[in-house]
Chains A and B, each alone.
Chain A
Amino acid sequence: MTDTKNSRRTIRFTLNGRPVAADIGLNQNITEVLQDSFGLGGSRESCGQGLCGCCTVIMDGKAVTGCLTLAAFADGASVTTVEGLADGETLSAEQEAFIETGAFQCGFCTPGFILMTKQLLDENPDPDDEEIRHYLSGNLCRCGAYPEIVKAVRLAAGKRRNA
């Protein structure tokens, strides 16, 4: 078994653009640390197995599932969460698009879908529906908001192009 006393360490990383440090357990994943040490609830655990995407964060430019990413791996990295997307009170294009198309119900999956949408549009500013579905196929929505989510991505793409 792990001796919890000797299995802690301090990590330093960039969180939504600001340098931070945290005392973590080596068995903690990044989602737990964001919740417990930083009060950030946007990355949240649901399936706990890397299947639903509710825990998505962006680490060094790549979308990862927080539930399977040990916090220790964040040491020295740059981490972006959904809380980092809005500029003060101004929502990002993706966030606006999700509201305007009604692309969520309970909203538990929404931060994951929004971060994936941002990643997709960073890579491919004008995806077609098939590309959208493909890119988002690693995320699940139990409320079944998929038709509206696809619309939201298209709307967000338009907003970004016209920005």
Chain B
Amino acid sequence: MAGTTTTVGRSFPRMEGRAKVTGRAEYVYNLRLPNMLHAKACRSTISHGRIRSIDTSAAEATPGVHHVVTGADICKVLPEPFYGPAFHDQPILALEKVRHYGEPIAVVLAADPHVAELAAQRIVVDYEELPAVFDEVEAMTSDVIVHEELKPAGTFADLKHLAGKRDTNLALDYHLRHGDADKAFAEADRVFEHTFSTQQTMHTPFEPMIAIADVRNSAATVYTSTQSPSFVRYELARLLGWPESSVRVKTSHLGGGFGAKVYVKTEALALALSMIAHRPVRLALTMEEQFYTITKHPSTFRIASAVDKNGKVTARKCEVWWNGGAYADIGPRVTQKSGFTAAGPYNIDNVSIDSYALYTNRPPAGALRGFGIPQLVWAYESHTDIIAREMGIDPVDFRKRNILRNGRMQAVGTVVKDGEFEAILDELAKRMDWDKPFDRGSGTVRRGRGVAIGFKASISPTTSSAIVAVNADGSCIVYCSTVDMGQGSDTAMAQIASEVLDIPMEKIRVVNPDTDVTPYDMSTLGSRSTFHMGHAVRLAAADAREKLLALAKEIGLPEGHNTPVPELFVRKFGMSAGAIIGSANYIPDFTPPNYSTGQSPNATPFWMSGATGVEVEVDTETGQMRILRMINVCDIGKAINPVVVETQISGAAVMQLGFTVSEEMVIENGQLTNPSLADYRIPGIFDMPSVMESGFVAADQQNGPFGAKGVGESGTFGVSPAIANAIEDAVGVRITKMPIKAEAIYRALCVKQGRELSDD
């Protein structure tokens, strides 16, 4: 893939830009179908309990109500109404038990959404409340059992052994052994151990989750704001016992996803409701309801390092507990796939990792921009910084002494290739003027700075398929199921097709995912699309190019001819007719890990990495913290579209900033107290650092399409620990729990001065 490119690598404005600024962009949210009913759910007001009875009479008596549907009604149309990508553990509506606050119990259908909402409030549920467990570490040993029996989906080989297990909240345990950590600890000069934790947060995509299902004539069509059209088709077909060709899943542009809209969310319920009503049903969640649907894992991470006197980390032991909430969703994958990078981007000969996915009575947790990586980086980069400080070594220097370089084996047993960990650290230090003197403030306002670096292995193996059609007039259509939720994938895919076929961007269209039209894609998640779908589109375009060459030959043109494409079609078909269709499937090479050691010589097709540096100002009298400067540097291989890449990096960092300093779902007495943007504070324009820079280093992902790799998550990696590290640098206190609010800093400052504050 060497050589110069003309379209790839240029900052084209997003293809759908005009539609977005004129308010005409298509979102499923805007779709209305004739004769459609609106669905509104009645949700659990407790976190764990048995349902004694559901009184729907008042709701049914409400004028304008068409149906009131409970779990028992769902069973009549879908006899096994359980779904989930890793475990078939989630009922479409609660059956017998509720396992988290906000779980849907019943639904009202009406032509007027206001009527449906009002009637849903009139449903009365009587519960026998049960004790609940909310903490991931407690869930390991708690008497409270969330699921009577584990029900792995069978899709993942490493979950099969869990089938039928009882009396446990452990949904997956993953173990990795590399070298001999125990021996290295016994021989170490210094040993450090710390525990860190993260809180529950939510994606809050601005287009709330929505699905409209229309089941008729033994076929189902579901319009949904999903990141995973192919998986939704697969799962709905499984629930129905129908062939996948009888289920059509269509999506449009998404008003944000960030992992909230992967796998099945609202679709199974909408499907069942349409089967019951024999009409199209629109199930649109509110912002509040999104908090009950999917969240980011809270986590606890105990990390220990053995270090020699030169500041070389000789061993690391990692124990991570992931709080998956009441339904597993994709949590077990997070546990394993992110688990193996828990020791950080360092060259450590002896590593042991134990990673546990737990059920609790919190709303379910899944993937959120980083698939567990930000939780891990928070711990290992805070820990790494503490070690450097305690050993009196400069934090950048300490990291460089230990950094994992290309050609070295990562703990999972895979040799690192095209992973520019050191380069991004160097670039960050340069942009921060790390070597220059730094103004530390004075009096009650102190300044500090900190850095952090994190990495991620792309999740493997996953498949993408694409079709590229060249029309008789020389224009081109790209058919792929990658969902553009703001990351600019449509534009990137068009650039790749344009590059391969030498067709200008204005003549290329990228079709919105529609499973009747666009071929299979594993999902738009985990920063996988640029690499996987990028390859599929590249190969499909190359296939079309070969066919155009064959066509030219067939009509007797010499090699190297410069007859325009439309002319080829006219000569072959006698008029402007016909089409050339290129297609391709892409799956990277992969070797599954050995079950007992977790080792694999080929665990991932590419490594992503991101480093963040911040300068902060802390008021020692109040604990108030201000970020003066934030710099994010990532390794993204070669950029397909540099401007879009930069905005991806900075957008990811802004989101992680919210998770670091303000966002937190608070559960008190079994109730989620703040499921709204009023009480759950996401970053606004005033929360931006005074100076913010985002960039990437010159790099080349040699096995990537045009040297590119994924970028959507990398900007999140370093943000949280960089802030904690800067705070310690400024005022000498260490925060180990997220989020880092002024109160936490103030309390820590008090402790440092020898006066601990009471909890109230």
Which residues of A pack against B, CB within 8 Å?
1-4, 25, 27-28, 35-36, 40-44, 46-49, 51-52, 54, 81-83, 85-86, 91, 94-95, 98-100, 102, 104-111, 114, 133, 136-137, 139-150
**Known: A105-B486, A106-B256. Contact between A52 and B677, CB under 8 A?**
yes
A contact residues around B286 at 8 Å (CB): 48
**Which of B21, B206, B256, B651 sits near A91, CB closer than 8 Å?**
B21
A contact residues around B207 at 8 Å (CB): 44, 46, 106, 108
**Which of B112, B254, B683 sits near A144, CB closer than 8 Å?**
B683
Instruction: Report how far A107 CA is from B255 CA in the complex, Å.
Output: 7
Name 8 A/B residue pairs within 8 A (Cβ), A-sorted: A98-B21, A99-B14, A106-B254, A106-B257, A107-B253, A144-B683, A145-B647, A147-B692
Are A136 and B685 closer than 8 Å at their CB atoms?
Answer: yes
Which residue, of B14, B287, B684, has the highest number of chain A Cβ atoms within 10 A? Answer: B684
Which residue, of A35, A139, A147, has the highest number of chain B Cβ atoms within 10 A? Answer: A147
A contact residues around B682 at 8 Å (CB): 140, 142
Are A146 and B654 closer than 8 Å at their CB atoms?
Answer: yes
Q: A41-B29, A102-B14, A110-B21 are in contact. List 16 more A-B contacts (CB 8 A).
A: A35-B30, A35-B32, A41-B24, A46-B255, A52-B677, A81-B23, A83-B22, A105-B256, A106-B255, A106-B256, A107-B255, A114-B21, A142-B256, A144-B651, A144-B652, A144-B683
A contact residues around B205 at 8 Å (CB): 106, 108, 142
**B539 CB to nearest A CB, Å:** 27
B contact residues around A145 at 8 Å (CB): 647, 651
**B396 CB to nearest A CB, Å:** 25
A contact residues around B583 at 8 Å (CB): none
**Which of A2, A47, A105 sits near B647, CB closer than 8 Å?**
A105
Are B23 and A111 closer than 8 Å at their CB atoms?
Answer: yes
A contact residues around B64 at 8 Å (CB): 4
Interface hits, B16-64 → A, CB 8 Å: 16-25, 27, 29-30, 32, 62-64
Are B22 and A137 closer than 8 Å at their CB atoms?
Answer: no
**B473 CB to nearest A CB, Å:** 22
Are B678 and A147 closer than 8 Å at their CB atoms?
Answer: no
**B758 CB to nearest A CB, Å:** 33
Closest A-chain residue to B25, C-beta based?
A107
**A26 CB to nearest B CB, Å:** 10
**Known: A147-B650, A148-B647. Contact between A108 and B27, CB under 8 A?**
yes
B contact residues around A142 at 8 Å (CB): 204-206, 256, 258, 655, 682
Are A83 and B206 closer than 8 Å at their CB atoms?
Answer: no
A contact residues around B651 at 8 Å (CB): 105, 143-145
B488 at the binding interface (Cβ < 8 Å): yes
**B568 CB to nearest A CB, Å:** 33
Are B18 and A99 closer than 8 Å at their CB atoms?
Answer: yes
B109 at the binding interface (Cβ < 8 Å): no
Closest A-chain residue to B16, C-beta based?
A107
**Which of B22, B30, B256, B676 sits near A143, CB closer than 8 Å?**
B256
Interface hits, B614-655 → A, CB 8 Å: 643-644, 647-648, 650-655
**B210 CB to nearest A CB, Å:** 11
Closest A-chain residue to B19, C-beta based?
A107
Are B676 and A49 closer than 8 Å at their CB atoms?
Answer: yes
A contact residues around B62 at 8 Å (CB): 1
B688 at the binding interface (Cβ < 8 Å): yes
Instruction: Report how far A142 CA is from B114 CA in the complex, Å.
Output: 27
Are A44 and B27 closer than 8 Å at their CB atoms?
Answer: yes
Closest B-chain residue to A104, C-beta based?
B20
Instruction: Report how far A146 CA is from B688 CA in the complex, Å.
Output: 8
Main secondary structure of the interface of A (DSSP, over half): loop
Instruction: Report how far A81 CA is from B118 CA in the complex, Å.
Output: 29
A contact residues around B683 at 8 Å (CB): 144, 146
A contact residues around B25 at 8 Å (CB): 41, 107
Instruction: Report how far A46 CA is from B678 CA in the complex, Å.
Output: 12
Main secondary structure of the interface of B (DSSP, over half): loop
Which residue, of A54, A85, A99, has the highest number of chain B Cβ atoms within 10 A? Answer: A99
Interface hits, B656-712 → A, CB 8 Å: 676-678, 682-686, 688, 692
Which residue, of B22, B208, B650, B652, has the highest number of chain A Cβ atoms within 10 A? Answer: B22
Are A109 and B63 closer than 8 Å at their CB atoms?
Answer: no
Instruction: Report how far A118 CA is from B653 CA in the complex, Å.
Output: 28
Are B30 and A25 closer than 8 Å at their CB atoms?
Answer: no
A contact residues around B527 at 8 Å (CB): none
Are B652 and A91 closer than 8 Å at their CB atoms?
Answer: no
**Known: A42-B24, A142-B204. Contact between A99 and B254, CB under 8 A?**
no
Are B256 and A144 closer than 8 Å at their CB atoms?
Answer: no
B262 at the binding interface (Cβ < 8 Å): no
**B449 CB to nearest A CB, Å:** 20
**Known: A47-B677, A49-B676. Contact between A42 and B23, CB under 8 A?**
yes
**A51 CB to nearest B CB, Å:** 5
A contact residues around B63 at 8 Å (CB): 3-4
Instruction: Report how far A86 CA is from B205 CA in the complex, Å.
Output: 27
B contact residues around A81 at 8 Å (CB): 23
A contact residues around B115 at 8 Å (CB): 4
Instruction: Report how far A141 CA is from B255 CA in the complex, Å.
Output: 11
Are A42 and B22 closer than 8 Å at their CB atoms?
Answer: yes
B contact residues around A28 at 8 Å (CB): 114
Which residue, of B17, B486, B648, has the highest number of chain A Cβ atoms within 10 A? Answer: B17
B487 at the binding interface (Cβ < 8 Å): yes
B contact residues around A94 at 8 Å (CB): 21
B contact residues around A108 at 8 Å (CB): 27, 205-207, 255-256
Chain B 112-147, CB within 8 Å of chain A: the 1/0 string? 101100100000000000000000000000000000
Q: Which 10 A-B pairs give the minimum distances between C-beta atoms? A: A42-B23, A144-B654, A106-B486, A108-B255, A107-B20, A105-B486, A41-B30, A82-B23, A144-B651, A95-B21
**Which of A1, A85, A109, A147 sits near B22, CB closer than 8 Å?**
A85
Instruction: Report how far A101 CA is from B525 CA in the complex, Å.
Output: 26
**Known: A35-B30, A91-B18. Contact between A46 and B655, CB under 8 A?**
no
A contact residues around B318 at 8 Å (CB): none
Instruction: Report how far A1 CA is from B650 CA in the complex, Å.
Output: 48
B476 at the binding interface (Cβ < 8 Å): no
Which residue, of A2, A44, A91, A107, has the highest number of chain B Cβ atoms within 10 A? Answer: A107
Instruction: Report how far A138 CA is from B711 CA in the complex, Å.
Output: 29
